[in-house]
Structure 1
Amino acid sequence: MSIWGKFIVSAAGFALGGPIGALIGVVAGHAIDKIKTKQKLPKESALKQIGFTVGVIVLSAKMAKADGKVTKEEIRAFQNKISVPENEIKNVARLWDQAKKTTDGFEVYAQQICQLLGKNSSVLEELLNLLIIIAKADGKITKSEILYLKQVSIIFGFSIEKFERIYSSNLGKISDPYQILGVTRNTPIVEIKNKWKLLASNHHPDKLIAQGLPIDFIEKSTNRLQEINNAWDIIKSQQ
């Protein structure tokens, strides 16, 4: 069963609680009531996938609202990144519409998602990448959108340096392979290699899935792993 099949089902069998659980109840309370007694508790990984999926929908909707209006380009960017089956479009649309009314309260959603997925995790980095893609969809990123992104990043446990790297990478401003790996030209090659191995491991699809990134999102996630491997290849060739 894909994450979209679990989207409503798991919420019925597992009390997510908090703002995420409440919002799911708003859009699918009737469905939850029908299957409440039929479902078993999902595994921890399934719960994390629910958290990521709802996080993408809620935080991206509020991201699009950060500059005061939601544009067609921002909605299109969301749709291009999130493959939603036809039978789930209405449920996702209800959730999006509920969330986009205001940016107020985005912090509590980000905090709960962070608790589910683990602070400073690679999956949260993928989520932040998606938010930045939506922010730049209309051709510009406003100060209010940058502030929103920074606040979400802080809640996710990212340092200012890490946020700047993720942000600049999405804008195509980073070409230095050393900066991509978070090292300097003076860093010993052994340390650089170890850093590459760690980053490549953390961003491997299998590990991302285990940490909560739904399979549905893997193909449409960022090319961070390729970026990491390309950076190492360049550095290695220069030695």
Structure 2
Amino acid sequence: MPYWGKLLGLILGLMSGIGFWGILLGLLVGHTVDKARNVGRSGFFTSQQVRQSLFFRCIFQVMGHVSKAKGRVTELDIQLANQLMERMQLHGEARIAAQRAFREGKESQFLLREKLQELRRICFGRFDLIRIFLEIQFQAAFSDGFLHPSERKVLKTIAEELGISSAQFEQLINTMEGGRQFYYEGGWQYQGEGNQGDRQGNFRQTARGPTLADACKVLGVKNSDNYVVVKRAYRKLMSEHHPDKLIAKGLPPEMMRMAKEKTQEIQAAYNLIKREKGFK
């Protein structure tokens, strides 16, 4: 029923004992509640096909916008975006659609906040989708081995628009920094001199192996945490990133490989912690 909020507000206004103004205030509050519920309901019941289509397009539009954060989109940025499309095995019409969306996102008139609000609406009640959307944006931003301050600023804005707190944002940063040291099949990272990398466009696998600290960042746990805490964090992350669950919630099939790679990273981090700390 679309008027439950107003009805409840009316009842509370009458019970307040302050007469007309109490009733008016109750109706206004009830109207706000009804409006919020209707927005959430429309997003929750969006068709799977519509949700997947919008999610796919928004991934590459926002990726293009983040690439432009440094001032201009370089040839390297385009190479890295195409590399990500290769990892997703996008070919034919899907590849063309992704490239078109990327170009749209880097245009000066691109309405970032409006697109993110639309994404948040169609992902209502599906935080796992929001999380993997951000993780893909972080992967793209980190792919040259360096997170530029301007990219970080735009990513923070994106996170805020999607309802991610500052603490959750910093946790995602830590997770990405730790995860970059884990090898995943088909996963490559741009490497070069210093932190910013060699801008000649050479790609190779990560130079050093992951450490216990990296593994703890991936799972979001402390080095001092016991086995129960580590296992609980591991199971939670594996559930949140389970490819089949994400597809059922609206993740485009083209991005299933990204979800699989993430579960491999989580599994590898868990195994490393167990080995290093002697957990059985």
Under a length normalisation based on structure 2, what TM-score does the superposition of the two structures give?
0.60
Show the counterpart of 2:229: 191
Shift of 1:97: 2.8
Note if contact 1:65-1:103 (Cα within 8 Å) is conserved in structure 2.
Answer: no
Query: Percentage identity across aligned positions?
Result: 24
RMSD: 2.9
Under a length normalisation based on structure 1, what TM-score does the superposition of the two structures give?
0.69
Residue pairs, 1:69-108, within 5 angstroms:
69-82=72-85, 83-102=89-108, 105-108=111-114
Unaligned runs of 5+ in 1: 1-41
Shift of 1:222: 7.2
Note if contact 2:117-2:161 (Cα within 8 Å) is conserved in structure 1.
Answer: yes
Note if contact 1:196-1:232 (Cα within 8 Å) is conserved in structure 2.
Answer: yes
Show the counterpart of 2:55: 52
Unaligned runs of 5+ in 2: 1-44, 182-209
Of structures 1 and 2, the one with the larger relative CO (CA 8 A, separation 6+) is 1
Q: 1:221 to 1:205 in 2, by over 3 A?
A: closer
Q: 1:124 to 1:189 in 2, by over 3 A?
A: same
Note if contact 1:81-1:221 (Cα within 8 Å) is conserved in structure 2.
Answer: no
Shift of 1:198: 1.5
Show the counterpart of 1:129: 135
Structure ID, larger Rg = 2
Structure 2 residue 259 is the aligned partner of structure 1 residue 214? no
Show the counterpart of 2:65: 62
Distance, in Å, in 1 between the alignment partners of 2:243 and 2:176 is 19
Structure 2 residue 247 is the aligned partner of structure 1 residue 201? no
Q: 1:186 to 1:220 in 2, by over 3 A?
A: closer
Of the three residues 213, 218, 238, the one matched with 1:180 is: 218
Letter in 1 for 2:68: K
Give a deviation string over 1:8-38, Cα, whole Å, max 9, x none. xxxxxxxxxxxxxxxxxxxxxxxxxxxxxxx
Q: How many residues end up aligned between the 2 structures? A: 198
Distance, in Å, in 2 between the alignment partners of 1:54 and 1:102 is 17
